[in-house]
Structure formats: structure tokens, C-alpha cells
A and B are shown apart, each in its own frame.
Chain A
């Protein structure tokens, strides 16, 4: 059942991609710059005519070139402001990992506590509801001002944006563990700690992981914007730097890379999720 359909789907994907490329080439192909009435030769040179110029939307071949140049040497290092795409991605991933980890450390225990106690849930609820919808980037000026370090601020922003989905999902997962199981644990006189780790945690794990997966998705979205704001190394900085140069083909390349990395991150959590899912 899976095989033929998978093949057909892949074929359609490929066709869609080719169609997209074709339309893109067609849209950017037009107008060779022949219309320029001959001003004087010197002016033309100074305006960069004849040379490769960035004006106009880049063609697929130009973007393809960018892929080849950057991917053939992903770890070059030409000084503090010009590093290979591999190094940039690694820095971004590092920030995301650190912020995410901090969020896990806070969100899991807190979520557990809130989920197990209806009193705490009600007490925390107004804060969570107010803080949750705040755009993580809105925290940036406050973070920069109070933490006094742009790198730490970036990590803080990741932390704050990954916190809420994890916290809410953990609390929800813990709160909705089936009462039968908790009752069974109680009749067997299981210690509270053992109850938490051997009954509630496995039962709530799929929901918790869903929260983590959402958090990671948001974190990866936010890091690009955050790095465009505060600079230094990272994929967001790469986008910003190429935007300065109006080198759109490099920006498109970076955008595709961001998509790929995001997909891989999501897949990892997908696998983890399968691992903890159970059938009732």
C-alpha cells in the first residue's frame, strides 16, 4: 500500500519543484539590459553596466551558484564577520540548544507541579496567560538592557519562547493522566516519587514531547529574527549581512538552509515522539 503511493507522491513533488523552477526562470529571464541609451561610456562603467549586478530578482542559476559556493566550503573563516555557512548554523544551533535546555529545566518540573495540583494551576494560570502571547522579540530590548550581553540576551529570548508550549503541555499531560492508573498506584501504596517517574511521566510523555516539538519549532523561527537584530555570528546575521549587500541570491540560499535545518530538528522530535507513544 505504501510503496506505489510513495513513488507517486515523490513524482508529483518533483514535478511541482520543476514547475516552480520553470516559472521562476521565466519570470526572471526577460529584459536583457539593451535598452540603456548610450550615455557616455565612463558613466556606464561607473554604474556597473555589463558587470554582474544584483538589481532585479535573482535567477535560479544565480541561486544555484550560491548553493555551490557556500556548500563546497561550509567551514571557511575570513575573520570575525565572514564565516562559512556551517559555522553560522552551528552558532545558531548552539544558542537554540542552550536556550531550549534551560527552558526544559524550568518547564518540566514546574509543569509537573502545576499539573499535579489544581491549586497551583489556578494560581499560575493568569501569569501564563499573560506572558504566553508576548512576542519573544519584544523581550529583546529589556533583555539587552538588563542582561548587558547580546549573546545571553539571544539565549534568553529562545528560553522565554520555548518555555510556554512546554510548560502548558507538561501541565496538561500530567493533569490528564487517567485516574484509574493513579488509583492503582495508590492502592499499591507506591511512593510519591516512584508514582511520578513510573506512572505519570510515561503516561504524560507523548504530550510533553509534543510541547517540546512545538517549542523547538518556535525557537528555530525566533533565532533567525533575534540574530538579525543583535548580529554577531549566526544564520540570522548571515541573512542580515547579505541583505546589506542586497545579494538576494545569498539570502534565498540562507532561507532554504534555515528550512532544511528546521525540518531536521522537527524530524528528530518526531522520532522521539514515536519512541514514547504507547497504545492504550
Chain B
């Protein structure tokens, strides 16, 4: 986990010590990166020049360095950590098994084996109610 904002490393230190450590027991354990000038955010498509900040953007990167998922929100709405973890587990399941995970998949739920036999038969394997928790 790496967090990034346009704040300096000095501000990150103060935020950790004066606020985050009061929200999260022991404070956040991951590196807090500084993107002054928004050059990194620009490359990732999240830098908002008018405000001089990186908007809320979340990228899942696998051990090979490939971007597997991205989610970008305007700042007012926070993220869903459960959904983040579900997506990481889904990508790990796909890489480990070669199966693919349909809408609503959760660890332990039915995944699909892609191949010619499945064409036109997904309706037998996946039902609408499976889209929901």
C-alpha cells in the first residue's frame, strides 16, 4: 500500500502524528508519498491542475508491475475498502487458476472456466442473484 498526495513529506508526518494516529491504532503503516507539482498524478490521470491536487484515484498493480484496475472518484466520496480487497482476491484467483470471476464474485463463490464449451452457456452457470452479496 502506497498513498500519494501533493502534500510534502513534512505535512505527511504531522498528519500521521496529529490525526491519523488517533483514527487508526498505531497510525498508518505504509509509506506516504509526496507528489508536489502533480507530476506523478498527471501520469496516472488524476492530477487536477486547477486545484493543484491529485483527486481520489486507486490503482491495483500486480507483482509483475501491471496495472490491473483503476478507480477514480471526485474528492467528495470516499472509497470502499471491502471492494478493493475483493478485487485483489479476484485478480489473485484468476492468476492462480485461469478461471474468470463473474459479476458479484466473492472468494468461495462460483467462478467460470473460459473456453469454447462455455460459449452461450453462461446462463446455466450464472444467475442474476449472484450479482449481489
* Bound pair (A, B): no
Measured CB to CB, the residues of A under 8 A from B are none
